[in-house]
Amino acid sequence: MGIISLVPTRIRRRFCGSVTRRRLLTFGFLVVFIFILFHESSIFASSDDKPQINDRRILESDNMVVVPQIVDMSGAIGQGSEEHKAVKHSKQIAGLGSDNVKKEGAALANGKRDERKPMVNEESPVTVVLVICAARPAAIRNHLEQIIKLRPSAERFPIVVSQDGNIGTVTSVIKEFVNESAHISFIHSSLPLLQHAIRTDENSATAKAAKNYFFIAQHYKWALDKIFFEMSYDTAIITEDDLDVAEDFFSYFSATRRLLRADPTIWCISAWNDNGGSNITDRSRSDSLYRTDFFPGLGWMLTADLWKELSPKWPSTYWDDWLRRQDIRNNRACIRPEVSRTAHNNKVAGKGTSGGLYKKYLASIHLPESPIDFSLLNLSYLMKDNYDRVLKKRLNEAKEITVESVENLSVPSAENSYLVVYRTPREYRRIAKAVGLMIDIRSGMPRTAYYGVVTFMLGASRVYAIPASLNVNKNFTSRPTSDFYIEDWDKMTRYLDFQETYCKPGKFAGVCDPKNPELVEWFRKKRLTKRLQSWGEMIVN
């Protein structure tokens, strides 16, 4: 029987029972340990204690994890790399922004859910497409045919068409598409109809343009109030009737939607690149996305929470420039693509509110040749800390060249990236005109700028135009982005436009100063005094 047989039976039973209990406890702890270990391994993509570049958890949790190491975003702001190709095939898992799911669950638990509101489900979220139109029947037909054909799901992307004005042919076209089962509805703005009737006696070109911008701003507010406050949608993509859309338009917005909730410094997603001309973009990298301080518009997405902030103070006119104001933007950025996912259809657009001013430039912006499945991309590089870290690295690696080199369209080697410094609006204009960037500046910002940095292709080389106030050797990304914009540059740029328009051979040959009495008299003699006044305040530079 051995030694154990020498122990009294009563003590043996107690001992064995104690051993059994200890074994059960040990087994239980072991099961719990294995469960925790398995759970951790399912959350993290590597054995390290922090997410890695291909980690699917990066865009998954409610509390966004900022990746500590440099995430390669070479496709967006630098050279190509194998790392980027690996990231490209790392599919994101839905679930980011699940605060909305929690809110919806609480509402259901309290029996307070608004039946009109689409159920928020981050696995298949609902994003309404708001189509803004007014007076172009061919344009609205073309646009609706495209988005209906391309949307992957009628349930996930319901369409609401909002018409301003009383053009019957436009209304008739829209009604051809309205279909409840296809989730296509029509709202018609009635208040601006009265305003149209009152103001049609303003006949000058300037008055008509100003009037149209007024109507557009009011229409936007009315329609956005409708879809967010009455229809209770959570997220909206806004399009306009004169836009063509890319085959991957919905893929782009589906994938980037999560960023609006993951990063509070991102307030909109735009399908448009203001500097999207074919000769200054890398069309081989149409998967590349960027942050921009300059609101792009022209096919853009926002949340209901943002609209609650904007609606009470929405401007009466020039709503897009209002969104570019530093006090409205509040150091937030939009996401925009390297290659635009929207394009102006000039055949159906007419002159538009700009009077055809940008028609030639807009015609140079084309949709991508082939679609990208954005659901396969790891977009965590667009989070501010990640993006800023890599931007700083790229700027440090770039070789400096002069404004004259850009004007001569020459760089030492196509294998390098380059940096060119602009010190004044005039210098920026020289760079912009040389390569084909848009030359206007709003709220101190060039189009597509981020920290004042505007990137473009010069031949096969990536170039970064940076303001003189940005020191790449210092931690500039710790400063607010608004620090790098001087709002007086708007007035200085306006003067440059004025100078190019009037102070040239065949027009005014004297001192080009809007306050110069000789110039004022020149305008008076030509009966253009009101036109001079319409330029507003300018700063000679």
Q: Tell me what the pLDDT averaged over the chain comes to.
A: 82
Stated as kind and residue range, the H or E segment containing 531 is helix 529-534
pLDDT at 235 over 60: yes
Q: What is the pLDDT of residue 351?
A: 62
Candidate from 207-211, 231-235, 273-277, 314-318 with smallest mean pLDDT: 207-211
pLDDT class for 88, splitting at 50, 70, 90? very low
Residue 71 pLDDT > 90 = no
CB within 8 Å of 499: residues ≥ 6 apart: 512
Q: How far apart are the first and last CA of the chain?
A: 107
Write the CB contacts of 299 (distance below 8 Å, at least 6 apart in sequence).
Answer: 237, 238, 239, 240, 243, 245, 249, 270, 271, 272, 341, 342
User: How many residues are recorded in the chain?
Assistant: 541
**Residue from 471, 462, 467 nearest 411 by CA:** 462
Q: Which has more pLDDT, 410 or 89?
A: 410
CA distance 338 to 271: 9
DSSP state of 271: S
Residues contacting 13, CB < 8 A, separation 6+:
none
- Provide, for the chain, the percentages of residues in helix, strand and coil under a 3-state DSSP scheme, each rounded to the nearest 5: 45, 15, 40
What's the pLDDT band for 76 if we cut at 50, 70, 90?
A: low
Amino acid, single-letter form, for residue 357: L
**pLDDT band at residue 5 using 50, 70 and 90 as cut-offs:** very low
> The pTM is what?
0.79
Residues 523, 531: contact at Cβ < 8 Å?
yes
pLDDT at 50 (0 to 100): 30
Active site residue 385: no
CA dihedral of 113, 117, 123, 124, whole degrees rounded to 10: 150
Least confident of 159-173, 195-209, 412-426, 442-456: 195-209
- Other Cβ atoms closer than 10 A to 178: 13
199 has a pLDDT exceeding 70? no
Kind and range of the H or E element at 292? strand 289-292
The two structure tokens encoding residue 417? 């990236």
Q: Give me the phi and psi of 90, to 5 degrees please.
A: -95, 105
Please tell me the least confidently modeled range out of 13-27, 221-235, 244-258: 13-27
SS3 460: coil
Catalytic residue among 320, 321, 483, 513: 320
Q: What is the mean pLDDT of residues 63-92?
A: 40
159 and 146 Cβ atoms separated by less than 8 Å: no
Q: pLDDT higher for 53 or 408?
A: 408
User: What is the 8-class DSSP label of residue 447?
Assistant: T
Higher per-residue confidence, 8 vs 362: 362
Q: Give the number of other Cβ atoms within 10 Å of residue 89's Cβ.
A: 11
Task: Read off the pLDDT of each residue in 479-494 and give the average, rounded to a whole number.
Answer: 98
Region of 259 (left: φ > 0; alpha: ψ -120 to 50; beta: rest) is alpha
Integer Cα distance of 56 and 2 in angstroms: 58
Concatenating the DSSP letter of every residue in 59-122 gives GTSSSPPPPSSPPP-HHHHS---HHHHHHHT-PPPS-TTTHHHHHHHHHHHTT---TTSPPP-T
Q: Which residue, among 25, 228, 265, has the nearest Cα to 126 in the 3D structure?
A: 228
pLDDT computed for residue 60 by the predictor: 31
- The mean per-residue pLDDT over the stretch 275-294 comes to 98
Say what angle helices 205-225 and 191-199 make with each other, to 10 degrees. Answer: 170
Question: What are the pLDDT digits (tens) for 113-123?
Answer: 334 344 445 56
**Is the pLDDT score of 97 beyond 90?**
no
Q: Where does residue 144 fall: left (phi above 0), alpha (psi -120 to 50 degrees), or beta otherwise?
A: alpha
Phi and psi of 61, rounded to 5°?
-85, 165
DSSP 340-361: -SEEE-HHHH-STTTTTTTHHH
| Contact between 260 and 269 (Cβ < 8 Å) | yes
Nearest to 62 by CA among 220, 262, 250, 259: 262
CA 202 to chain centre: 36
- The structure tokens 């006090």 sit at 327
Residue 477's CB is within 10 A of a number of other CB atoms, namely 15
